[in-house]
Structure 1
Amino acid sequence: MITRSRAGTAAGVLLVVVLALGACAAGPNVDVTPTGAGFWLGLWHGIILPVTFVISLFVDTVTIYEVTNNGNWYNFGFVAGLALFSGPALAGRRARRR
């Protein structure tokens, strides 16, 4: 049998988990424009992400993601560029262990 204090604790934990997961939900990008950054710029941004990330820590005007993009094609290019950069690095590290 669950006691009253355990039921309250469980409800509190459940509430915190639901709120935390709700905060992670993606929202619409209101700055998406048809003439925004497309696939090729997304690909380039994905490739240079590691360098851009380090620079963005010290310079406020540098960001790692173009907000005014054209939507899914930019996102696809960004992820593809990131995979092009990180894929060979991870594969090379795995091959050296053998």
Structure 2
Amino acid sequence: MRRPAIRSWRRTAALVAVTVAAALVLAGCAATNTAAPAIAGAPGFWLGVWQGMILPIAFLVSLFDDHVAVYAVPNSGHLYDLGFVIGACVIPLPTILFGGGRARRRRAAR
């Protein structure tokens, strides 16, 4: 009696695997625009650093104002992305390296 249950489980697993594989193959065929033309005046590395640094403030403002975006959409590409990530890491870096104020006081009290 247990064999039919195992066979149906295997069939279900095989069907799921085939469905996922087919979805991945079809997603690989999606059209993308990798040769987008460079836009003159598009934000570059340094503006990405700045916008990454003001990320927490820009996020809070974007919740209430539809004209404020967290990330510049027409940007210069990978350099803007790198600057944005670097800028976003600048804000929490002192806390990560040196700990928060309470943690520092606890360490000093020991």
**TM-score, normalising length from structure 2?**
0.63
Q: Which residue of 2 aligns with 1:3?
A: 6
Q: Contact 1:31–1:67 (CA<8 Å) still a contact in 2?
A: no
**TM-score, normalising length from structure 1?**
0.69
- Percent identity, aligned pairs only, is 39
- Separation in structure 1 between the aligned mates of residue 84 and residue 57 of structure 2, nearest angstrom: 14
Greater C-alpha Rg? 2
The alignment of Structure 1 onto Structure 2 pairs a total of residues equal to 93
Q: Which residue of 2 aligns with 1:50?
A: 56
Deviation track 1:65-96 (CA, whole Å, cap 9, x = no partner) reads 00111111101110000111122233324x91
RMSD: 3.4
Q: Which residue of 1 aligns with 2:93?
A: 87
Query: Which structure has more RCO (C-alpha within 8 Å, separation ≥ 6)?
Result: 1
Structure 1 gap ranges (5+): none
Deviation track 1:43-82 (CA, whole Å, cap 9, x = no partner) reads 0010000111111112111111001111111011100001
- Alignment of structure 1 residues 69-88 onto 2, 5 Å: 69-88=75-94
